[in-house]
Structure 1
Amino acid sequence: MTLSYASGVSKTPLLGDTIGANLDRTVELHPDRDALVEYATDRRWTYARFAADVDAVALGLHARGIRKGDRVGIWAPNCAEWMLVQYATAKLGAILVTINPSYRVHELEFVLNQAGVRTLVSATVFKTSDYAGMVEQVRPRCKALTDVLLIGTPAWEELLRAGRAADPEVLAEIGAGLSADDPINIQYTSGTTGFPKGATLSHHNILNNGYFVGELCGYDEEDRICVPVPFYHCFGMVMGNLAATSHGSCVVIPAPGFDARATLQAAASERCTSLYGVPTMFIAVLNEPSLGSADLSGLRTGIMAGSPCPVEVMKQVIDRLGMGEVTICYGMTETSPVSTQTRADDTLDRRVSTVGTVHPHLEVKVVDPVTGVTVPRGTPGELCTRGYSVMLGYWEEPDKTAEVIDAARWMHTGDLAVMDGDGYVNITGRIKDMVIRGGENVYPREIEEFLYTHPDIVDAQVIGVPDERYGEELMAWVRLRDGAEALTPEALRKFCDGQLARYKIPRYVHIVQEFPMTITGKVRKVQMRAEAVDILGLADAAATKHA
């Protein structure tokens, strides 16, 4: 019997340097190559110019009193300044607190106070968000906050001027006192219930994870990575930015927020070789009317991650976008984020139906959620990760850290998984997403994958809703293709009949234009369940108590 355990053997050693030192090495090798392109404004940075501006921001922050260990918040959509602040704080040893751009006053105040943010770099406005106005609202209630810098204002320009006039040797002295194991980033996990927790990550955590993501994507100085996913999240700032700068590649920002048309235009115009996205983003790109006229011949690879990747969508990304070497990554903020990834030389079946094998220098195992014992391969259980990528802990919350990281330093992901005989992992759902219908354990992912085969369904999400008889019943929320006729529960049941066990066939169907989403493109199933109670009139069933 082979157990569901695997370790990532690699001939390539881990990086032992800091983010700043790693960037400096890349600049020495590729000073004249593109480092960053902001497509919407046509602003461009070579590595030499990028490094100069990073140092200016770092020295400007230093002149304003920022020192090693101080928390600097960044609250803005994707822009060049976001990336400059990311690397500038790393050079100072300051801890970058990445704040979700969709937060509002209540959430912003919580994060600023919980992390003890001293300086906040913020956008002024974006779409309907008045960032400057919200900052002024919370500022009197944030005791640690002493400095606010609004991007694009005279204060920001003054920061750059002060940094350019400062002694560059200061950064060299600071760098000599930094350790790769220092905390460098606090990322707040999406709090679907209660307040979010701040996953605290080190240089070593995120630099190595970005580097090995890039290694498995085959990046070098010729690659140009289109990054429409948000920088505030690991997908953007680690798998995008750090994967790029550790390989001399170029980051292309298509727009401040996700826009399918802008993403296509940027990927085509900038001859991008790689494209990132969560499944919902790729679905939007595949359904964008301008797709047929976009020259995407430069694309060869990319990453789909962030939430379960539908097999049918993955196949279309390969066939219609020409991303023959596209990979799927699996991970979570607390693990920097990637734990498993498919490889370019994996079979098509492996690349479209699994999240790959363990990442270099990491360990993964699948355990019984109750006993914690590692289960045999082919048996479902909870996926756990151990190694360099596991966070230092939740910021100032040791009790919550202990709930997810055990005494042997295994991170318990809360995700249900199966490891096959060759070590490939398939994510079958979340432990808390599992639906128990009349004593049968139902995993929504399996049903969702089947619903994707319906010719009129573009996207599908399955949730459990209260039921007085069975405890829970299944409800499918679906998005239909343009021009499709309304899909009735009866029609869907007929489609599923004979293909799925009866207890897996959704009783309810709800047609939507879009799903409730987090900023990172993850579907908020907690919100869907709450709305479903009202939509279906299930208040009485919801009030029924079960053992």
Structure 2
Amino acid sequence: MGTSGLTANTILSRLSHDMLKRNYAAGYWRDDTLYALAQRHAQAHPDKCAVRDSYGTLSYGELVRMADRVARELDAAGLKPGDRVAVWLPSRVEITVFVLACSRNRYICCPSLHRNHTVAEILTLCERMAAAAFVGEAGYGADADRHDIFEKLGDRDYVRKVFKCAPRSADGVDPALGLDGKPSTGREISAIEQPDTVVYLAFTSGTTGEPKGVMHSDNTLLSNARELSSDWGLNSGSVIYTLSPLSHNLGFGAFTASIACGSEVVLHDLPRTVSILERLREVGATFIFGVPAHAMDLLEEMRRTGADGLEKIEGFRISGAAVSSTIVEGLQAFGIKPQSGYGMTEACSHHYTRPNDPPELISGSSGRSCDGYEVRIFSVSDPDEPVAPGTVGQIGGRGASLMLGYFDNQLATERSFNRSGWFMTGDLGWEDENGYLRITGRIKDVIIRGGHNIHPAHMEMLTMRHPSVERAAAVPVKDERLGEKVCLAVMPRKGQTINPEQLLSYLDREGLSKYDMPEYFLSLDEIPLSANGKILKRELLDPIQNGTLRPTPIRFQGSARSA
């Protein structure tokens, strides 16, 4: 086992000898790093495509060669194991080069910097992690037209190396990184094979507060990737297409799965005007990673143009939000098996449905846990008290894919676990007798109407089943008498309109309690999403409170279930 990894860097983490002994003995953790696996694939099949974007490909041989080159450049700049490398790029093959270079030399790669970040936000995150190296693209980011991240980083003494990438082109990776024609610098050092130290730093989306830096090792990442690949038949012949960017945990998980099984991963970097179907046909995709919005877009195009040439697609992992029965039935009609799942940056994609699960389980649950991870439901009022099966409570988890802690935040790490060592997710849900999980909401995402707790996630899930609804968000509206009332904001599908009274009747038929019915309604052309596909409710709350958005009062008139 890789116990020597305990001294590879000085990052404070949860790693213990007990964790090492238990996970190695069970086979969930192994001696392989991400780099070592890629190197093994390169030795066996050097010309096999490893990663592709719209501008070109990198074979496994080329990917490892480039990772070696970048690792030497970082070493020459004085980086040591445990130093952080911040990567702020759109989905392009260079990200995978830096991930493997960090795995090789035991630096910590942070690629979870998103397109919608501002320069000020990136600068704050770089300062929090004390990034020893920075990788960015000129002109990228939410306010790149007004601010320059490279100029801002110029006087930061903690930054030892900066890669200013040219916009991606067909010229190749060496020119993009400014390495074309330049002699290699740095020492010839052997790869450090310590898969149990931190290699990946991902900042949570921060939809409800300040982002926390989640730390993972090669082994915590790979343990989940191996299980998902095994359960869904991913192998060296697979072509994994990720519609989610590599800056998002879902997209990064697609890359990790490809390294685990030696397959090809295709990065989606096309503008919205370009056909997704044509790209899937062109690359021969066999498995897709994405969020519900991606599935909706794909279904709309398939219904409009047909699905000829997509026979190779065996599955579609849909994460980030509940999967509606409309999506499930639509994909299955075209021969694509949808995978509903539950996961989080802290624990990877540990829950998912299986290929032979019936449609009602795919749309009605988040699947069951993979081998090496387990979930238990605890009382909301007492996180140390388990509840009976079928009872809603806080979801706790533990296992091989669980994070090593929050970066530079011992207090947040400690507060995330109960006394028995279960990670408290903050999510609410229940398990059936077969271990299938249903998510009902967030502990903090609760609207309290006159002392009655209303969980928005349940209302949103039911609303999303409506054939005319593309997105839905239940948010609180302040009320002098009751404290809060519920406003249901919907984004209709293209060409559709939604009658609020008819929607209330629909929610009643779907099983929403009359005590949970919304009392305000908003129909919006756009409900904003975060970089990882989650609805940004905070973008709705302020406009409602300051009067920019004016919800319409609505009232449920009575049950129509017997009609």
Structure with bigger helix share is 1
Q: Measured at CA, do residues 127 and 363 of structure 1 come closer, stay the same or move farther in structure 2, by a change above 3 Å?
A: closer
Residues 419 and 426, structure 1, Cα contact 8 Å, conserved in 2: yes
Q: Measured at CA, do residues 181 and 306 of structure 1 come closer, stay the same or move farther in structure 2, by a change above 3 Å?
A: same
Give me the whole-angstrom Cα distance separating, in 2, the residues matched to 1:360 and 1:196.
29
Q: CA deviation at 1:484?
A: 2.5
Residues 119 and 143, structure 2, Cα contact 8 Å, conserved in 1: no
Q: Is the counterpart of residue 264 in structure 1 residue 264 in structure 2?
A: no
Q: Determine helix, strand or coil for the equivalent of 2:298.
A: helix
Stretch moving more, 68-77 or 140-149: 140-149
> Counterpart in 2 of 1:216?
231
Give me the whole-angstrom Cα distance separating, in 1, the residues matched to 2:180 and 2:428.
48
Q: CA deviation at 1:260?
A: 7.3
Q: CA deviation at 1:267?
A: 1.1
Residues 227 and 276, structure 1, Cα contact 8 Å, conserved in 2: yes
Q: Is the counterpart of residue 107 in structure 1 residue 118 in structure 2?
A: no
Q: Is the counterpart of residue 231 in structure 1 residue 243 in structure 2?
A: no
> Counterpart in 2 of 1:252?
266
Q: Measured at CA, do residues 263 and 246 of structure 1 come closer, stay the same or move farther in structure 2, by a change above 3 Å?
A: same
Match of 1:62 among 70, 75, 96: 75
Q: CA deviation at 1:509?
A: 1.5
Q: Measured at CA, do residues 537 and 227 of structure 1 come closer, stay the same or move farther in structure 2, by a change above 3 Å?
A: closer
Q: CA deviation at 1:138?
A: 2.4
Q: Is the counterpart of residue 89 in structure 1 residue 102 in structure 2?
A: yes
Q: Which amino acid aligns with 2:248?
A: H
> Counterpart in 2 of 1:189?
204
Deviations 1:377-407 (A, max 9, x none): 0000011111222222111110111121334
Residues 58 and 88, structure 1, Cα contact 8 Å, conserved in 2: yes
Q: Which amino acid aligns with 1:225?
A: I
> Counterpart in 2 of 1:304?
318
Q: Determine helix, strand or coil for the equivalent of 2:430.
A: strand
Q: Is the counterpart of residue 202 in structure 1 residue 213 in structure 2?
A: no
Give me the whole-angstrom Cα distance separating, in 2, the residues matched to 1:136 and 1:88.
22
Q: CA deviation at 1:251?
A: 0.5
Q: Determine helix, strand or coil for the equivalent of 2:425.
A: strand
Q: Determine helix, strand or coil for the equivalent of 2:68.
A: helix
> Counterpart in 2 of 1:545?
none
Stretch moving more, 348-357 or 374-383: 348-357
Q: CA deviation at 1:413?
A: 0.6
Deviations 1:212-252 (A, max 9, x none): 22222211111101112111122112x21110011111011
Q: Determine helix, strand or coil for the equivalent of 2:321.
A: coil
Q: CA deviation at 1:102?
A: 1.9
Q: Which amino acid aligns with 2:59?
A: T
Q: Determine helix, strand or coil for the equivalent of 1:296.
A: coil
Stretch moving more, 382-391 or 13-22: 13-22
Q: Which amino acid aligns with 2:487?
A: M
Give me the whole-angstrom Cα distance separating, in 2, the residues matched to 1:85 and 1:131.
26
> Counterpart in 2 of 1:454?
466
Residues 237 and 263, structure 2, Cα contact 8 Å, conserved in 1: yes
Residues 427 and 441, structure 2, Cα contact 8 Å, conserved in 1: yes
Q: CA deviation at 1:194?
A: 4.2
Match of 2:156 among 142, 163, 173: 142
Give me the whole-angstrom Cα distance separating, in 2, the residues matched to 1:191 and 1:260.
29
> Counterpart in 1 of 2:328?
314
The structure showing larger relative contact order (alpha-carbon pairs under 8 Å, at least 6 residues apart) is 1
Deviations 1:250-275 (A, max 9, x none): 0111216x737453322121110011
Q: Is the counterpart of residue 348 in structure 1 residue 359 in structure 2?
A: yes
Match of 2:432 among 420, 423, 443: 420
Q: Which amino acid aligns with 1:339?
A: H
Q: CA deviation at 1:437?
A: 2.2
Q: Measured at CA, do residues 280 and 163 of structure 1 come closer, stay the same or move farther in structure 2, by a change above 3 Å?
A: farther
Q: CA deviation at 1:332?
A: 1.0
> Counterpart in 1 of 2:11?
none
Q: Is the counterpart of residue 443 in structure 1 residue 455 in structure 2?
A: yes
Query: What's the RMSD between the two structures over aligned residues?
Result: 2.7
1:115-126 map, 5 Å: 115-126=129-140
Residues 226 and 263, structure 1, Cα contact 8 Å, conserved in 2: no
Q: Which amino acid aligns with 1:510?
A: L
Q: CA deviation at 1:328?
A: 2.0
Residues 397 and 424, structure 2, Cα contact 8 Å, conserved in 1: yes
* Structure 1 length-normalised TM: 0.87
Q: Which amino acid aligns with 2:378?
A: V
Stretch moving more, 414-423 or 208-217: 208-217
Stretch moving more, 29-38 or 104-113: 29-38
Q: Which amino acid aligns with 1:512?
A: L
Residues 489 and 507, structure 1, Cα contact 8 Å, conserved in 2: no
> Counterpart in 1 of 2:45?
30
Q: CA deviation at 1:369?
A: 1.6
Q: CA deviation at 1:424?
A: 0.8
> Counterpart in 1 of 2:546?
534
Give me the whole-angstrom Cα distance separating, in 2, the residues matched to 1:367 and 1:300.
36
Q: Which amino acid aligns with 1:85?
A: F
Stretch moving more, 132-141 or 199-208: 132-141
Give me the whole-angstrom Cα distance separating, in 2, the residues matched to 1:208 and 1:349.
28
Give me the whole-angstrom Cα distance separating, in 2, the residues matched to 1:466 and 1:132.
37
Mind listing any 5+ residue stretches in structure 2 that lack a counterpart?
Answer: 1-22, 168-173, 552-563
Q: Which amino acid aligns with 2:38?
A: L
Mind listing any 5+ residue stretches in structure 1 that lack a counterpart?
Answer: 1-7, 539-547
Deviations 1:155-187 (A, max 9, x none): 8544465575767xx342x42xx4211111111
Give me the whole-angstrom Cα distance separating, in 1, the residues matched to 2:92 and 2:160.
24
Give me the whole-angstrom Cα distance separating, in 2, the residues matched to 1:188 and 1:26.
30
Give me the whole-angstrom Cα distance separating, in 2, the residues matched to 1:366 and 1:504.
23
Q: CA deviation at 1:422?
A: 0.9
> Counterpart in 1 of 2:13?
none
Deviations 1:297-345 (A, max 9, x none): 221112111223333323323324x312x3222111111x122121112
Residues 301 and 323, structure 1, Cα contact 8 Å, conserved in 2: yes
Q: Which amino acid aligns with 1:247?
A: C
Residues 217 and 302, structure 1, Cα contact 8 Å, conserved in 2: no
Give me the whole-angstrom Cα distance separating, in 1, the residues matched to 2:141 and 2:392.
44
Give me the whole-angstrom Cα distance separating, in 2, the residues matched to 1:413 and 1:73.
26
Q: Which amino acid aligns with 2:125?
A: V
1:316-335 map, 5 Å: 316-320=330-334, 322-324=335-337, 326-335=338-347
Match of 2:368 among 353, 357, 360: 357
Give me the whole-angstrom Cα distance separating, in 2, the residues matched to 1:225 and 1:205.
21
1:505-544 map, 5 Å: 505-535=517-547
Match of 1:493 among 492, 504, 511: 504
Residues 110 and 202, structure 2, Cα contact 8 Å, conserved in 1: yes
Q: Measured at CA, do residues 388 and 455 of structure 1 come closer, stay the same or move farther in structure 2, by a change above 3 Å?
A: closer
Give me the whole-angstrom Cα distance separating, in 1, the residues matched to 2:340 and 2:479.
36
Q: Measured at CA, do residues 271 and 490 of structure 1 come closer, stay the same or move farther in structure 2, by a change above 3 Å?
A: same
Q: Measured at CA, do residues 291 and 114 of structure 1 come closer, stay the same or move farther in structure 2, by a change above 3 Å?
A: farther
> Counterpart in 2 of 1:544?
none
Deviations 1:450-489 (A, max 9, x none): 323434323322223222233222211112233334x343
Stretch moving more, 273-282 or 468-477: 468-477
Match of 2:31 among 16, 29, 40: 16
Q: CA deviation at 1:91?
A: 0.6
Give me the whole-angstrom Cα distance separating, in 2, the residues matched to 1:366 and 1:187.
26
Match of 1:398 among 410, 413, 418: 410
> Counterpart in 1 of 2:557?
none
Q: Determine helix, strand or coil for the equivalent of 2:210.
A: coil
